[in-house]
């Protein structure tokens, strides 16, 4: 990643397009699961989403491998795609955008209270 790519993020765009091209080649039920995975991983995204790229790459790799094995998507991911995504993002302790908001709010309130001299 060079300076230009850091600023514009167009390496992310390129990578994203490559993901979508790979997803296009999957069977229909796998494509639906891919859409679900993207939705359920987005809460764990950082500001740019760069942290999700290797995770998405791995998940797509899993879908490709299992599709080639001829398994149904339900055999692979079960009912709990959301739980699968939470585990992908780093287990139950993974920080989502809600945790970041809560932290910011608490910090701000603590600062204001400090200014009041409480």
Partner 1 sequence: MIRIVSVAWAWSTTLWYRIVVLGSTEYQEDRRGPAMDDLTEMLKGTLEGCVLEIIGNEETYGYAITRRLNELGFADVIEGTVYTILLRLEKNGLVQVTKRPSGMGPPRKFYALNDAGREELATFWAKWAYLSSRIDKLKEGGR
- Which residues contact partner 1 (rule: CB under 8 A)? 58, 61-62, 64-69, 71, 75-79, 84, 87-88, 91, 102, 105-106, 109
User: Is residue 40 within 8 Å of residue 85, measured between CB atoms?
Assistant: yes
Shortest distance (Å) from residue 64 CB to partner 1: 5
Angle subtended by helix axes 53-69 and 10-24, to nearest 10? 10
Q: How far apart are CA 54 and CA 50, in angstroms?
A: 8
What is the smallest separation between the CB atom of 9 and partner 1, expressed in angstroms?
A: 25
Q: Measured from the CB of residue 79, what is the shortest distance to partner 1 in angstroms?
A: 7
Q: Which is nearer to partner 1, 48 or 72 (CB)?
A: 72
CB distance 60 to 19 below 8 Å: yes
């Amino acid at each position: 990643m060079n300076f230009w790519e850091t600023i514009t993020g167009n390496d992310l765009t390129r990578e994203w397009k490559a993901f979508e091209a790979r997803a296009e080649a999957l069977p229909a039920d796998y494509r639906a699961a891919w859409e679900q995975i993207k939705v359920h991983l987005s809460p764990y995204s950082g500001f740019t989403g760069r942290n999700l790229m290797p995770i998405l790459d791995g998940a797509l790799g899993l879908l490709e491998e299992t599709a080639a094995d001829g398994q149904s998507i339900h055999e692979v991911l079960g009912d709990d795609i959301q739980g699968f995504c939470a585990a992908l993002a780093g287990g139950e302790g993974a920080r989502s955008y809600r945790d970041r908001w809560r932290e910011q709010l608490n910090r701000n309130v603590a600062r204001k209270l400090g200014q009041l001299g409480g």
